């Protein structure tokens, strides 16, 4: 089935560094979402994007909806220990309600 290609699969950074991850698809999505999942928990919505070219911030997080509608990126500035976790991109196509998820980016931060 449809899948989003998310990269990188994992990141090991120092506290205070900026982080960038992205998600690409071979087909168009109308909505892009970024979630964070902590161990043993469900995904928590970070940012939702609804229009091509849209750039949205949530605190230290910034995400953009690619102009081609086939990609999105998430940036985290000045990382802190609580940013550790797995970040997932997700998209919706057409009128479908179901979310299609990427494989996730596992973020590890060295203090």
Partner 1 sequence: NAGVMQNPRHLVRRRGQEARLRCSPMKGHSHVYWYRQLPEEGLKFMVYLQKENIIDESGMPKERFSAEFPKEGPSILRIQQVVRGDSAAYFCASSPNYQETQYFGPGTRLLVL
Q: Which residues bind partner 1 (CB under 8 A)?
A: 1, 4, 6, 35, 40-45, 48, 88, 90, 95-104
Element (H, E) at 73: strand 71-76
Smaller CB separation from partner 1, 40 or 59: 40
Smaller CB separation from partner 1, 44 or 55: 44
Token duo for residue 51: 């229009």
Q: Nearest approach, Cβ of 16 to partner 1 (angstroms)?
A: 28
Q: Nearest approach, Cβ of 83 to partner 1 (angstroms)?
A: 19
Look at the alpha carbons of 20, 21, 27, 29 in this order and tell me if their dihedral is positive or negative. negative
**Number of neighbouring beta carbons within 10 Å of residue 2:** 12
Q: Nearest approach, Cβ of 95 to partner 1 (angstroms)?
A: 8
Q: Nearest approach, Cβ of 36 to partner 1 (angstroms)?
A: 11
The alpha carbon torsion through 73, 70, 102, 19 (nearest 10 deg) reads -10
Smaller CB separation from partner 1, 97 or 110: 97
Distance CA 81, CA 94 (A): 37
């Amino acid at each position: 089935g449809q899948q989003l290609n998310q990269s990188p699969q994992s990141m090991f950074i120092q506290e205070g560094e900026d982080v960038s991850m992205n998600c690409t698809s071979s087909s168009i999505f109308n909505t892009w979402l970024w979630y964070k999942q902590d161990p043993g928990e469900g995904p928590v919505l970070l940012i939702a994007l609804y229009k091509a070219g849209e750039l949205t911030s949530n605190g230290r997080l910034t995400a953009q909806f690619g102009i081609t509608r086939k990609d999105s990126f998430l940036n985290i500035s000045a990382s802190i220990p609580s940013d550790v976790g797995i970040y997932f991109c997700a998209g919706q196509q057409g009128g479908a309600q179901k979310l299609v998820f990427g494989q996730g980016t596992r973020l590890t931060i060295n203090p």
